[in-house]
Amino acid sequence: MSLPLTLAVLDGMAVSVAGQTLVVPLTAIVETLKPKKTELHGLGKDGRVMSIRNTFVPLIDVGTQLGFRDTPADPENSVAILVETGGGTRNALLVDSIQDQRQVVIKSLETNYGTVAGIAAATILGDGRVALILDVDALLTSSFDTLRSEELCYGTGG
């Protein structure tokens, strides 16, 4: 008797960030937005928020958060993906562009490389390239921890 290999499949949004392809799980995405200059506001030393329907949402540049680039992307030339964590907190992830929506097969990173902050797993794309799958909750927690440590370091925190 032969049984098929069970595969874990994820519905995701493939996005581009600093020349890399990443996958954002669809279960975390509320909507996608094109930021306008009037909706963007500074917060603290390097933080930014985006005004969305009369509420302010933290704007997290995925490229700088994951170390793909040193300087933040221009929000007006990027796409904001409004995501919601398991706890109901909303944030906007800033990416360079959206490629498409697709189903991907999940490959564990922990087995071969260990835990990577902000990354849940990886997948192999149709053209053979590897794309990382974001762990939205961990990415947002990591972003908050970075912002909080900067506030304490620069004396802007409460």
Average pLDDT, the chain: 86
> Kind of pairing, strands 130-134 and 20-25?
parallel
For residues 2 and 57, what is the distance between their CA atoms, to the nearest angstrom? Answer: 51
First to last CA, the chain: 64
pLDDT of residue 156: 47
For residues 63 and 71, what is the distance between their CA atoms, to the nearest angstrom? Answer: 9
> 145: pLDDT confidence band, cut at 50, 70 and 90?
low
Q: What is the CATH number of domain 9-154?
A: 2.40.50.180
pLDDT at 51 over 70: yes
For residues 108 and 72, what is the distance between their CA atoms, to the nearest angstrom? Answer: 29
Calculate mean pLDDT across residues 119-142: 90
- Residues 64-88 have pLDDT tens digits of 999 999 998 999 999 999 999 878 8
Per the structure block, which two tokens stand in for 59?
A: 């704007």
